[in-house]
A and B are shown apart, each in its own frame.
Chain A
Amino acid sequence: MAAVKQTVEHVESLEKYKHGFVTEIDQEFAPKGLSADIVRFISAKKEEPEWMLQWRLDAFERWLAMDEPTWAKVDFPPIDYQDSYYYAAPKTKDGPMSLDEVDPDILATYAKLGIPLREQEVLAGVQGAPRYAVDAVFDSVSVVTTFKKELAEAGVIFCSMSEAIREHPELVKKYLGSVVPVSDNYYACLNAAVFSDGSFVYVPPGVRCPMELSTYFRINAENSGQFERTLIIADAGAYVSYLEGCTAPMRDENQLHAAVVELVVLDDAEIKYSTVQNWYPGDPETGKGGIYNFVTKRADCRGDRSKVSWTQVETGSSITWKYPSCVLRGESSVGEFYSIAITNGRQQADTGTKMIHLGANTRSRIISKGISAGKSSNTYRGLVSAHPKAKGARNFTQCDSLLIGKTCAAHTVPYVEARNGSCVFEHEATTTKLSEDQLFYAMQRGLSQEEAVQLLVNGFVKDVLQELPMEFAVEAQKLVAISLEGSVG
């Protein structure tokens, strides 16, 4: 009867959105609204040096002159940028601290989310279990970063962005904004002006980071936006695997999450970046509330034979606008993008990737699986381009979309630009519904309709799930099931 019990448990665990709780906690806010003074306030709060403040003010100046992009296939009422808090932090002393100093409510929050912040808890598991270091970002600040000591022994710097600006200004100055320039796009520019925290990783030459690094982003405060900035540098021959997770409470209002992630990869280095995005998607019936996830992620493969692999499981957010990209500058550098994007209810997702081939013999691979259900809309938008110097550039793209139900939409909008005679680009895309025959077969074998759908969907996304770090693959698979709950029947 074990199987029955497991099924019962599984169905019970299919709550609508189990991360939707709010942590009641004393918080400190910047005054509502956005102005140069708010930018100064944030910078002062973070005790930043003058150059950082100037950088922010310059970004704010440019942002004022920019227009919001409208080309994505998403539809939302205009955002009032003055009606939001740009800084919200738990009321404790700023910056990193020991775990004992962290507000127990926050610790409880992370415990509830299943994120191990105590190193011994991570270790307490089965012997040989994979370990990973966590940087926990709560609204605008990083509350704690684990395993710092052990990582430091290996030479790896893993800390919050605020700390990096104070402790490693030479690295920050050198790389910040070098992949995503300040005025790259509207949301990235806004982020440059008001970014609060995020993670900073530096892996020195030849070092293979001894454990998985991860950042867990949590939006808690009402009426606030989260603007984190992450910078990861893999020096020559280094390797690091990084995972980010995100959740937020259930609210009727829309909250903005405009992050920037920059990856710098030097000769022979490799970064594996995985995302499990589970922001609150809004009410499935009315579409009310949910996070606007407008994110700019880009990797610069500067070194020869460098490699970046983006893996994303996008299940949350009311609107997703996100194109993790690879600039393949170094000779023989490699970019990969594996994505599962699931939309249900009234979610809208416009997501994909850009593979920009600049160096000779660069290779890229895109596997995108989109699933739409309910009244949602799911768009893959991607660019593959080869410049005249990118001799021998090679790309393979596969975009598959699955439609569940009559009221959802799935779109594929790839752009391909080939500018030399030795590049080879292949692209294939399909859009279909769940096969009736396969469903019938699975149900005939005794599976319920929901289970049958889940089984087929898991098969559909398997290519991407395989690319996730082991410990998250299981979580992601469960998340896929939760996201599609209520989409059939």
Chain B
Amino acid sequence: MSIAEAISSGDASLLPSRRDEDWRWTDLRGLIRQMPAASPEGRAWAWDSPLSGQVDVEVGVVNGRGSTDLEVAAGEEKFVAWRFLSTAEAGAHNAELWVTVGEGGKLTLVESYEGVSGGYLANTMVNIRLAKGAKVERIVFAADHADGVSVVDAKVELAADAAYSQTVLTHGARRQRIETRVAHPGAHAQLRLDGAYLLEGQHNADLTTVVEHQGVDGTTSQLTKGVVRDQSRGVFQGRIVVAEGADRTDARMGHHALILSDKAEIDAKPELLIFADDVQCAHGNTIGALDEDALFYAEQRGMPEDLARALLTAAFVGEVIERIEHDAVREVAQAWAAQRLEV
């Protein structure tokens, strides 16, 4: 079972299905009976993103082509936008990229997934390696087309004293999975792993994370929030593994979602797998509607119901966005959420 293999061989039977435990809520095999043809080469980049002009480097990857690996030298600081585009002619394509950040290096990486029209199956593999003391903030804007299918699989490795922060923002797609696997082999590594999904229509989004603590004194702080309306479906799978000997690990995971329609669905699986005793691990998971008391309060103050709902929802999601460290990116994220939530 591998999506990359399925795409390169054109064999749909290699796609993961709900029989695969880790894909039980994001069934690709059942969705794609026949593989789309391999994507043709896409045309060059044509439009600006809200961050164009502000970033040091802007890289475009069209239909899986044109990727260049990214390297941040020791002590260097970079702000990079990486844009992955699936064009109107796109079928199925793979892309694989490497990011290495040298000792003490600092990187702000804004990744966007942009689908021009539906019908594509895009698979992107990102490998990120942080050397000792390196610091990376990765923000993913998943702006796939409503009829697109997209899988992003990032593997992150943290050396000692490295710090990695991530925020994934998505409005979903026909099927979409954004997976992040982080290994903490080094001691004292710090990790923040956030996400927000705001879904409407028949969109699906699956945020999956796997964090493995192998070194001592690692910390993980994870906060994912979701809002689902109409017939959309949000999936959160978080797994924190603390290996034997990874003492004094402090890992906290939270997933909170608002389900705003009777036909929407949320599936969650927050897992803790602990093999060491000197640890503090916790997870919380809540799913429900907007707080009626808070709504009542807002309405009583003269606020129209729609506005009250929008404000409460925005405040709910805002907690994730406020955790974005980079000011310019946070502003773009705020605008993205405001547009989605119509505030």
Give chain A nearest CB distance to B85 CB in angstroms.
34
A430 to B283, CA, bound (A): 7
Query: Are the CB atoms of A432 and B279 closer together than 8 Å?
Result: yes
B305 at the interface (CB under 8 A from A): no
Cβ contact within 8 Å between A421 and B269: no
Given known A412-B283, A433-B279, contact A403–B265 (CB-CB < 8 A): no
A223 at the binding interface (Cβ < 8 Å): no
- Given A411-B274, A431-B281, do A423 and B269 touch, yes or no (CB 8 Å)? no
Contacts A388-B262, A404-B277, A425-B288; A414 near B282 (Cβ below 8 A): no
Question: Which residues of chain B from 255 to 303 have a CB within 8 Å of any chain A CB?
Answer: 257, 259-289
Asked if A415 CB lies within 8 Å of chain B CBs, one says yes
Q: Does A401 contact B (CB under 8 A)?
A: yes
Question: A414 CA to B240 CA in the complex, in Å?
Answer: 13
A420 to B274, CA, bound (A): 33
Instruction: Tell me whether A426 and B269 are in contact in the complex, defined as CB-CB below 8 angstroms, given that A403-B277, A410-B274 are known contacts.
Output: no
Q: Are A425 and B287 in contact (CB under 8 A)?
A: yes
Q: Which residue in B265, B281, B289 is a CB contact (below 8 Å) of A419?
A: B265
If A416-B268, A417-B265, A417-B267 touch, whether A423 touches B287 (CB-CB below 8 Å) is yes
Residues of chain A lying within 8 A (CB to CB) of residue B273? 409, 411-413
Q: A416-B267, A426-B286, A427-B270 are in contact. Are A421 and B277 (CB under 8 A)?
A: no
Expressed in whole angstroms, the Cα–Cα distance for A220 and B235 within the complex equals 48
Candidates B265, B270, B274; contact of A418 at CB < 8 Å: B265
Say yes or no for A35: interface residue by CB 8 A criterion. Answer: no
- B260 x A421 contact (CB < 8 A): yes
> Counting CB contacts under 8 A, is B48 at the interface?
no
In the docked arrangement, what's the CA distance between A485 and B263, Å? 51
What is the CB-to-nearest-CB distance from A74 to chain B, in angstroms, rounded to a whole number?
14
Q: How far is the CA of A24 from the CA of B21 in the complex (A)?
A: 47
> What are the interface flags for B80-98 relative to A under an 8 Å C-beta threshold, 1 for contact and 0 otherwise?
0000000000000000000
> Which residues of chain B are near A423, meaning CB under 8 Å?
259, 287-288
Looking at chain B's contact residues, the main secondary structure is: strand
A401 CA to B281 CA, complexed, in Å: 10
**How many Å from the CB of A149 to the closest CB on chain B?**
51
* B11 contacts A by Cβ under 8 Å: no
**Bound: A371/B17 CA distance, A:** 35
User: Looking across the interface, which residue of chain B has its beta carbon closest to that of A416?
Assistant: B268
Name the A residues within 8 Å of B268 (CB-CB): 414-417
Asked if residues B266 and A421 are in contact (CB atoms below 8 Å), the reply is: no
Bin the interface of chain B by size. Answer: 20 to 34
Quick check: B270 and A429 within 8 Å, CB to CB?
Answer: yes
Q: Is the CB of B282 within 8 A of A424?
A: no
Which residue of chain A has the shortest Cβ distance to B239 in the bound complex? A413
Q: Indicate whether A431 sits within 8 Å of B285 (C-beta atoms), given known contacts A409-B273, A412-B272.
A: no
Q: In the complex where A406-B244, A415-B269, A421-B264 touch, is A427 in contact with B277 (Cβ < 8 A)? A: no
Q: Known interface pairs A416-B287, A429-B282, A431-B282. Does A409 touch B271 (Cβ–Cβ under 8 Å)?
A: no
- Complex CA gap A271/B279 in Å reads 38
A426 to B279, CA, bound (A): 23
Q: Which listed residue, B264, B265, B274, touches A409 by the CB 8 Å rule?
A: B274
Chain B residue at minimum C-beta to C-beta distance from A428? B284
Contacts of A388 in B (CB 8 A): 262-263
Residue of A nearest to B235 (CB): A417
CB distance from A204 to the nearest CB of B (A): 39
Q: Chain A nearest CB: distance from B212 CB in Å?
A: 14
Taking the closest CB of chain A, its distance from the CB of B278, in whole angstroms, is 6
- Nearest B residue to A433, CB-CB: B277
Would you call A416 and B285 a contact (CB within 8 A)?
Answer: yes
Smallest Cβ-Cβ distance to B284: which chain A residue: A428
Between B244, B268, B279, the greatest number of chain A beta carbons within 10 A of the residue's beta carbon is seen for B268
Q: How far is the CA of A415 from the CA of B22 in the complex (A)?
A: 12
Q: Taking the complex as formed, is A71 at the interface, i.e. its CB lies under 8 A from any CB of chain B?
A: yes
Once bound together, how far apart are the Cα atoms of A425 and B266, in whole Å? 11
The yes or no answer to A54 lying at the interface (CB within 8 A) is no
The answer on a CB contact under 8 Å between B272 and A409 is no
Q: How far is the CB of A142 from chain B (nearest CB, A)?
A: 40
B289: chain A residues at CB < 8 Å are 421-422, 424
A210 on the B face (CB < 8 A): no
B265 proximity list for chain A (CB < 8 A): 417-419
B219 to chain A, nearest CB (A): 15
Would A428 and B283 count as touching, CB distance under 8 A? yes
Which residues on the B side are within 8 Å of A425 (C-beta)?
285-288
Collect the chain B residues with CB atoms within 8 Å of residue A407's CB.
244
In the complex, A225→B275 CA distance in Å?
A: 32
Q: Which A436-485 residues sit within 8 Å CB-CB of chain B?
A: none
Determine whether A408 belongs to the interface, using a CB cutoff of 8 Å to chain B. yes
Q: Does A405 contact B (CB under 8 A)?
A: yes
Q: Is the CB of A71 within 8 A of B21?
A: yes
B259 near A409: Cβ-Cβ < 8 Å: no
A433, B271: Cα distance in complex, Å? 18
Residue of A nearest to B261 (CB): A421
CA distance A425 to B269 in the complex (A): 13
A166 vs B288: C-alpha distance in the bound complex, in angstroms?
Answer: 49
Q: Which residues of A contact B280 (CB under 8 A)?
A: 431-432
Q: How far is the CB of A235 from chain B (nearest CB, A)?
A: 34
How far does the alpha carbon of A272 sit from the alpha carbon of B260 in the complex, in Å? 35
Does the CB pair A424–B287 fall under 8 Å? yes
Q: Is the CB of A431 within 8 A of B263?
A: no
Which A residues touch B276, using CB under 8 A? 403, 406
Q: Contact: B277 with A406, CB < 8 Å? A: yes
Known contacts A421-B259, A423-B259; is A413 also within 8 Å of B269 by CB? yes
Residue in chain B with minimal CB distance to A420: B262
- For the complex, what is the distance from the CA of A489 to the CA of B268, rounded to whole Å? 39
Q: Are A431 and B269 in contact (CB under 8 A)?
A: no
Give the nearest-CB partner of A396 in chain B: B286
A417 — nearest CB in chain B belongs to which residue? B267
Whether the pair B285, A422 counts as a contact (CB closer than 8 A) is no
Which residues of the partner chain A approach B259 to less than 8 Å between Cβ atoms? Answer: 418, 420-421, 423
Can you name the residue of chain A whose Cβ is closest to the Cβ of B285? A427
Q: Is the CB of B282 within 8 A of A430?
A: yes
How far is B283's CA from A413's CA once the two chains are assembled, in angstroms? 11
A-B contact pairs, 11 of them (CB 8 A): A412-B273, A414-B269, A416-B266, A417-B268, A418-B257, A418-B266, A421-B260, A427-B283, A429-B284, A430-B282, A432-B279
Residues of A within 8 A of B (CB): 71, 388, 391, 401, 403-433
Beyond contacts A401-B274, A412-B271, A431-B274: 11 other A-B pairs, Cβ-Cβ < 8 A, are A414-B271, A420-B263, A421-B260, A421-B262, A422-B289, A426-B284, A426-B286, A427-B284, A427-B286, A428-B283, A428-B285
